Amino acid sequence: MAQTTALQKAWEAKGSPPCDHPHTEKEYASGMQTGDVVCTTCGAEFWRSKK
Ligand SMILES: [Zn+2]
């Protein structure tokens, strides 16, 4: 979660340009999957089961 926040802040520092979220990874918290995925570019979080 801390990592996600850092990513989001860095993205905001760039002016929050539009992101297509080309690269996402499973999010982990304390070594356990949270069930979410996070964009490694802008730090946005998604639910994995996206329809
Ligand atoms: Zn993104």
Position 3 confidence tier, pLDDT thresholds 50, 70, 90 = confident
pLDDT at 47 over 90: no
What mean pLDDT is predicted for residues 22-34? 90
Ligand 1 geometric centre to CA of 46 (Å): 10
Ligand 1 geometric centre to CA of 51 (Å): 18
pLDDT at 18 over 80: yes
Which residue would you say has higher pLDDT here, 49 or 5?
5
Structural domains in the chain (count): 1
Average pLDDT taken over every residue of the chain: 87
Q: Could you list the residue range(s) of the whole structural domain that residue 38 is in?
A: 2-47
Which residues are CB-contacts of 34 (< 8 A; sequence separation ≥ 6)? 26, 27, 28
3-state secondary structure the chain: CHHHHHHHHHHHHCCCCCCCCCCEEEEEECCEEEEEEEECCCCCEEECCCC
Global pTM reads 0.73
d(CA 41, CA 8): 9
Ligand 1 geometric centre to CA of 31 (Å): 22
Ligand 1 geometric centre to CA of 23 (Å): 7
Ligand 1 geometric centre to CA of 30 (Å): 23
